[in-house]
Amino acid sequence: MNNESILSRIQEHFGSEIISSEVNFGILTIEISAAKSFEIIEWLNKDEILDCSYLTLLGGVHYPESLNREFAIVYHLHSWRKNYRLRLKVFVPSENPSVRSIVSIYNGANWMERETFDFYGIIFEGHPNLKRILNMDDMDYFPMRKEYALEDETREDKDDRFFGRSSN
Amino acid sequence: MKEENIAVGSTDNKSEGTIPQFMSESTVNKESLEKLLNNEDNNTTGNSLANLTDSKETIDGKYATINFGPTHPATHGIFQNILKVDGEKIISSEQTVGYIHRAFEKLAERRPYNQITPITDRLNYCSSPINNMGWHMTVEKLIGVEIPKRVQYMRVIIMELARIADHLICNSVTGVDTGALTSFFYPFSEREKIYELYEEVCGARLTTNIGRIGGFERDFSPTFHEKLKNFLKTFPKAFEEFNGMLERNRIFMDRTRGAGPISAERALNYSFTGPNLRAAGVDYDVRVMQPYSSYEDFDFIIPVGVNGDTYDRFMVRQEEVRQSIKIIEQAYKNLPEGSYKADVPEFYLPPKEDVYNNMEALIYHFKIVMGETEIPAGEVYHSVEGGNGELGYYLISDGGRTPYRLQFRRPCFIYYQAYPEMITGMTISDAVLTLSSMNVIAGELDA
């Protein structure tokens, strides 16, 4: 099972929902639309040829600079019978960061979605118990968002320019 | 709650799904109780503190809510389980995690790559070297370094020692929770020898920070060789002594068989990996499925269980220790000649005497310490077989000197979700046993 045949198989069924695709260090990465993410993952789980029945990892990424694509939800799937990994990305805007929960497909997604909600404030619609998991319940912000600096803001020696990025 | 309930519950701990003898038929709706005990209408994925109190069915008219943790000695870590019990039978439960959450993923976004290694130590601190090396391999994959065969074999030796230490702790603690304290002390003298071996390589024992991006700090010392040879000679014998105490012990077997089982199908749905999944009968092991660090060179088997219960988890770990010894023997026997580090001066700190005497080494030293290293942009997922399962690193680099995003796949965090499902209908003492045999490490759970 090589990456081209995986991609063409998915394109056959969800051609219009695939926004882009690339291969990163051997893992096929596909960006799919948020509206159809649940259907695609459910189909990947059931499909006999692709047989992507295992969810390895689910998490979020924050890209504050990309307009209307501020949050990414990244799914790592793994087919154990065919032994390949697949990475799916869903981008959602910061005004309405929500995507359909996949807990009904993979129970293991439950805490991973809660953690992503806890860190980024991404809403997983249909999640049975979407609340904070690692942080305090009464926390009123989402700490992994890029606007929350880790360091003390009064320090001048630790801004982003010193980390190889020139944001200001 | 009546006294007799507790007494009956603790002696008759395998009467799952049946109504205990002491109960009169008139006080309870038999069907609804059985339904509840068989967990038919209890949505474990969605249970919350709120619905722990709204059930109607009881044995004696009362439920008790018990806090198992956060600082209970039997949890072996800081995490809380709120158990709703009827007598001693667990009706439903909910875990609260995050007591030692240290925001590692956020911290990692503001640390140069070599400073992230000490963070990984503190994930699963029972087998830190595996975490360290998994991280090194992730970065090496990103920057595209060819690692010498000798380094790969050295890593295999250290990682398998770590796996032995991890499994020894888990299994001896399972012994403690069944009431066998001797089986806790004996393996600890063996674990001590493994820690001495770490000490020879990196100077540290628990949070090892072992190795570097590109290889090791130094080659194995003569003392290491001596101690490793000695370990390989004495450990199997000492380990069989440990087995003699538990493996075929009638009391231990009766106590652990059938406690906290999970089927292969449910385990897969919960994204289980590692010994807990293999105990349920699925032979998934990253070392074989996607070999890293030359694991394809070694001959070893993946033990699997049948029932996915505590005894199977225990036995899978026992057999893995024997296989690890086999791997170490092979790796040590065939240890290739060569350098103990890859040729990556941009990432690997030069020796101190070169920094003082050699201009080029001084420049590299300065660039590494000041974080002026060029890192390619890219996305990497790399996973290793940790003590608890697939330990993965998802790294997004935007070319900055720190990761743009680093996510750890912590096997504990993922499989611990299944705990309420595994203990519903069991007794409290089985819940304790199940927890310790799952090897939930608080550091990895909360990250």
Question: Does the structure show a pLDDT above 80 at B329?
Answer: yes
Interface list for chain A against chain B, based on CB atoms closer than 8 Å? 24-25, 27, 29, 53-57, 59, 61-62, 74, 76, 80, 83, 85, 87, 103, 106-112, 115, 119, 128-129, 131, 133-135, 143-144, 148, 150-151, 158, 162-165
Residues B217 and B202: beta-carbon distance below 8 Å: yes
Has residue A166 been placed in a domain? no
Question: Does the structure show a pLDDT above 70 at B174?
Answer: yes
B173: which 2 tokens? 């603690």
The complex's ipTM works out to 0.92
Q: What is the pLDDT of residue A100?
A: 95
CA dist., res. A44 & res. A48, Å (int): 8
Has residue A52 been placed in a domain? yes
CA dist., res. B239 & res. B230, Å (int): 14
Q: What is the pLDDT of residue A34?
A: 92
CA dist., res. B12 & res. B9, Å (int): 5
Has residue A160 been placed in a domain? no
Q: What is the pLDDT of residue B117?
A: 93
CB–CB contact B271 A53 (8 Å): no
Q: What is the CATH number of the domain that holds A113?
A: 3.30.460.80
Predicted confidence (pLDDT) per residue in B346-374, tens digit: 889 898 899 999 999 999 998 888 877 88
Comparing CB atoms, the residue among B380, B402, B418 nearest residue A163 is: B402
Cα B28-B33-B37 angle, rounded to 5 deg = 150
Question: Does the structure show a pLDDT above 60 at B126?
Answer: yes
Cβ-based contacts of B97 with chain A (< 8 Å): 133-134
Question: Does the structure show a pLDDT above 80 at B47?
Answer: no
Q: What is the pLDDT of residue A156?
A: 65
Question: Does the structure show a pLDDT above 50 at B254?
Answer: yes
Question: Does the structure show a pLDDT above 70 at B53?
Answer: no
Has residue A143 been placed in a domain? yes
Give which of A110, A117, A155 to mutate to test B binding, by max B Cβ within 10 Å: A110
The residue extents of the domains of chain B are: 3-96, 104-409
Has residue A104 been placed in a domain? yes
Task: Return the minimum-mean-pLDDT range out of B36-50, B57-71, B79-93, B368-382.
Answer: B36-50
Predicted confidence (pLDDT) per residue in B94-109, tens digit: 999 999 999 999 989 8
Measure B90 CA to nearest chain A CA, in Å: 21
In angstroms, what CA-CA distances link B16 with A118, A137, B51, B68, B431?
Answer: 36, 35, 22, 21, 13
Question: Does the structure show a pLDDT above 60 at B407?
Answer: yes
Its domain, for residue A131, covers 3-150
Cβ-based contacts of B103 with chain A (< 8 Å): 143
Measure B402 CA to nearest chain A CA, in Å: 6
Predicted confidence (pLDDT) per residue in B425-446, tens digit: 999 999 999 999 999 998 999 9
Q: Tokens 């089927």, residue? A: B263
Has residue A157 been placed in a domain? no
Question: Does the structure show a pLDDT above 50 at B328?
Answer: yes
C-alpha closest to that of B374 among B197, B112, B118: B112
Residues B426 and B260: beta-carbon distance below 8 Å: yes
Interval B291-319 mean pLDDT: 94
pLDDT less than 50: residues of chain A? 168
User: Total structural domains in chain A?
Assistant: 1
Q: What is the pLDDT of residue A168?
A: 44
Residues B267 and B414: beta-carbon distance below 8 Å: no
Predicted confidence (pLDDT) per residue in B62-78, tens digit: 788 888 878 888 878 88
Kind and range of the H or E run holding B193: helix B182-202
- Share the mean pLDDT of chain B: 85
Q: What is the pLDDT of residue B71?
A: 85
Question: Does the structure show a pLDDT above 70 at B200?
Answer: yes
A149: which 2 tokens? 């600096």
Interval B405-430 mean pLDDT: 93
Closest chain B CA to residue A25: B380
Residues B441 and B412: beta-carbon distance below 8 Å: yes
Q: What is the pLDDT of residue B36?
A: 44
- B149-177 and B128-143 helices, crossing angle to 10°: 150
Report the CATH number of the B104-409 domain.
1.10.645.10
Interval B231-247 mean pLDDT: 92
CB–CB contact A115 B413 (8 Å): yes
Has residue A43 been placed in a domain? yes
CB–CB contact B43 A128 (8 Å): yes
